[in-house]
């Protein structure tokens, strides 16, 4: 039976550590502050934003909530971002995606101060990640690496396969694995012989958005499997959330993340971690030991 990587308890430990750091920073002046911007009424985004704000407050930080109507113009949003960039109480800015169609997301993300870009989506942070020179790392990939760190001591030379080439997960997680000196293959929708490529993987990170894509006979015995997928399916009478991996077929894997309860809780915990990190950096406070394993290469 594969070992379960318990994202809930790993995320709870991370949140507790972040809370200690936030409390320390608050004692020395101001608590870290996170601004979350939601444009429009997308129900899934509303749920995510609510949990982000709740977790921020629970972690001893200040949350600034900004809701704009769907009709808000791109200029309205850019003006809000300019105000948040200039606001010293705000250490992190997150603009919930997707944005309504009339707003250019790239332009908006580019307008966020890279030092406050807790999503790690600004081109400066993307560039820093690919150059291995620090910066803020996108939350889900950071969470994947923290989960892998609980089961792998030495990444050097391991074969890693990433399924999915998105800017939010696939590409940044590939960069992080490369930084650890894995031999990394990134696969995508046009990849041929996917099962064969996956069979070579010691580490498999799946972010395809396709329920049950990865079957048991694709996975090498002993491999570590990180399932980033969140798919809502109807199973008979019931609605369930499942990952991109056929979880019931993973007995022979070394370790596997469940869905829910694997990568999901890590994403918000890493957002809090990034906010404290941004706060420390903006206030020229030293980083805390133990951070540096995942944030390897940080200046």
Binding interface with ligand GUN (CB under 6 A) = 94-97, 119, 139, 168
The question of whether 119 is a catalytic residue gets the answer yes
Annotated active-site residue in 91, 96, 113, 117: 96
What CA–CA distances, in Å, run from 27 to 15, 130, 146, 163?
18, 35, 28, 43
Provide, rounded to whole angstroms, the least separation between the CB of residue 86 and ligand GUN: 20
Pick 139 or 272: Cβ nearer ligand GUN: 139
Provide, rounded to whole angstroms, the least separation between the CB of residue 292 and ligand GUN: 23
Provide, rounded to whole angstroms, the least separation between the CB of residue 119 and ligand GUN: 5
Give the span between the Cα atoms of 198 and 180, in whole angstroms. Answer: 19
Annotated active-site residue in 91, 117, 119, 227: 119
Which of 148, 139, 130 has the alpha carbon at shortest distance from 277?
139
Q: What are the phi and psi torsion angles at 47 (to 5°)?
A: -65, -45
Query: What is the DSSP secondary structure assignment for residue 116, as one 8-state letter?
Result: G
List the beta bridge partners of residue 123.
none
Pick 108 or 250: Cβ nearer ligand GUN: 108
The question of whether 96 is a catalytic residue gets the answer yes
The three-class DSSP label of residue 210 is: coil
Provide, rounded to whole angstroms, the least separation between the CB of residue 5 and ligand GUN: 20
Pick 28 or 102: Cβ nearer ligand GUN: 102
DSSP string, 269-296: HHHHHHHHHHHHHHTTPPPPTTSTTTTT
Pick 119 or 179: Cβ nearer ligand GUN: 119
Positive or negative, the Cα torsion across 126, 131, 133, 139?
positive
Task: Provide the annotated active-site residues.
Answer: 52, 96, 119
């Amino acid at each position: 039976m594969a070992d379960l990587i318990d994202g809930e308890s790993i995320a709870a430990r991370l949140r507790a550590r972040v809370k200690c750091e936030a409390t320390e920073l608050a004692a020395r002046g101001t608590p870290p502050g996170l601004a979350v911007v939601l444009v429009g009424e997308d129900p899934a985004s509303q749920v995510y934003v609510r949990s982000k704000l709740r977790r921020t407050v629970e972690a001893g930080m200040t949350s600034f909530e900004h809701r704009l109507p769907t009709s808000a113009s791109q200029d309205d949003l850019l003006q809000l971002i300019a105000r948040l960039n200039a606001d010293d109480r705000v250490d992190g800015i997150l603009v919930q995606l997707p944005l309504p169609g009339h707003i250019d997301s790239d332009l908006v993300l580019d307008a966020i101060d890279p030092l406050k870009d807790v999503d790690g989506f600004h081109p400066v942070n993307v560039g820093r990640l690919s150059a291995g020179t620090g910066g803020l790392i996108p939350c889900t990939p950071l969470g994947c690496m923290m989960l892998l760190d609980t089961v792998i001591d030495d990444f050097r030379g391991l074969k890693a396969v990433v399924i999915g080439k998105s800017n939010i997960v696939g590409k940044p997680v590939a960069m992080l694995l490369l930084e650890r000196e894995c031999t990394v293959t990134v696969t995508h929708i046009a990849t041929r012989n996917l099962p064969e490529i996956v069979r070579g993987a010691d580490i498999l990170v799946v972010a395809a958005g396709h329920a049950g894509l990865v079957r048991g006979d694709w996975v090498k015995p002993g491999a570590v499997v990180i399932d980033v997928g969140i798919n809502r399916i109807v199973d008979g009478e019931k609605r369930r959330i499942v990952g991109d991996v056929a979880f019931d077929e993973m007995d022979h894997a070394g370790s596997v993340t469940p869905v829910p309860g694997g990568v999901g809780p890590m994403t918000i915990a890493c957002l809090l971690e990034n906010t404290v990190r941004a706060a420390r950096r903006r206030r020229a406070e030293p980083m805390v030991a133990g951070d540096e394993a995942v944030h390897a290469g940080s200046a």
